[in-house]
Structure 1
Amino acid sequence: MSQLLEAAHFAAVAHNQQRRKSAAQPAYIQHPLHVALLLASPESSLYPDPPVEILQAAVLHDTVEDTEVTVKDLEDKFGAQVTRIVMECSDDKHLNKAQRKQAQIDSAPHKSDAAKHVKLADKLSNLRDLMSPEGRPAGWSFTRIQEYFVWAKRVTDACRDVNPGLGDELEKIYREGTFEHGGKTYRCHPSYSA
Structure 2
Amino acid sequence: MPNDLLAKVMDAAVYAALKHQYQRRAGYDRLPYMNHLLKVTEALIRIGEERDEALLLAAVLHDVLEDTDATHEELALRFGREAADIVLELTDDMALPYMERKWLQVEKARQLSVKARKIRIVDKSTNIRDILSYPLDWPLEKKQNYLDNSIQVVARIRGGNPRLDAWFDETVDWAKQRLEEMEKSIRG
TM-score strictly above 0.5: yes
1:89 and 2:87 matched: no
Equivalent-residue separation in structure 1 for 2:171 and 2:43 (angstroms): 15
| CA offset digits 1:91-118 (Å, max 9, x no partner) | 0223222221111001111110010011
Q: Which residue pairs with 1:190 in the alignment?
A: none
Equivalent-residue separation in structure 1 for 2:144 and 2:98 (angstroms): 17
Q: Which residue pairs with 1:17 in the alignment?
A: 22
SS of equivalent residue, structure 1 residue 162 = coil
Aligned letter for 1:108?
A
Aligned-pair CA distance for 1:22: 2.1
Q: Which residue pairs with 2:142 in the alignment?
A: 144
What TM-score does the superposition give when structure 2 sets the normalisation length?
0.88
Equivalent-residue separation in structure 1 for 2:11 and 2:174 (angstroms): 38
* Aligned residues between the structures: 179
| CA offset digits 1:91-148 (Å, max 9, x no partner) | 022322222111100111111001001101101110111221x2x53x2111111111
Equivalent-residue separation in structure 2 for 1:182 and 1:109 (angstroms): 33
Q: Which runs of 5+ in 2 are unaligned?
A: 1-5
Q: Which residue pairs with 2:123 in the alignment?
A: 122
Identity of aligned residues (%): 30
The within-5 A match list for 1:41-190 is 41=46, 43-44=47-48, 47=49, 49-132=50-133, 134=134, 137=136, 139-177=137-175, 178-179=177-178, 180-181=181-182, 184=185
CA RMSD of aligned residues (A): 1.8
Q: 1:176 to 1:9 in 2, by over 3 A?
A: closer
Aligned-pair CA distance for 1:183: 6.4
Higher strand share: 1
Equivalent-residue separation in structure 2 for 1:166 and 1:184 (angstroms): 31
| CA offset digits 1:42-72 (Å, max 9, x no partner) | x31xx1x521211110000000000111112
Equivalent-residue separation in structure 2 for 1:27 and 1:94 (angstroms): 23
Q: Which residue pairs with 1:191 in the alignment?
A: none
What TM-score does the superposition give when structure 1 sets the normalisation length?
0.86
Aligned letter for 2:99?
A
Q: Which runs of 5+ in 1 are unaligned?
A: 187-194
Aligned-pair CA distance for 1:173: 2.9
The within-5 A match list for 1:21-32 is 21-32=26-37
Higher helix share: 2
Q: Is the 8 A contact 2:72 2:85 kept in 1?
A: no
SS of equivalent residue, structure 1 residue 21 = coil
| CA offset digits 1:22-55 (Å, max 9, x no partner) | 21111110001110001001x31xx1x5212111
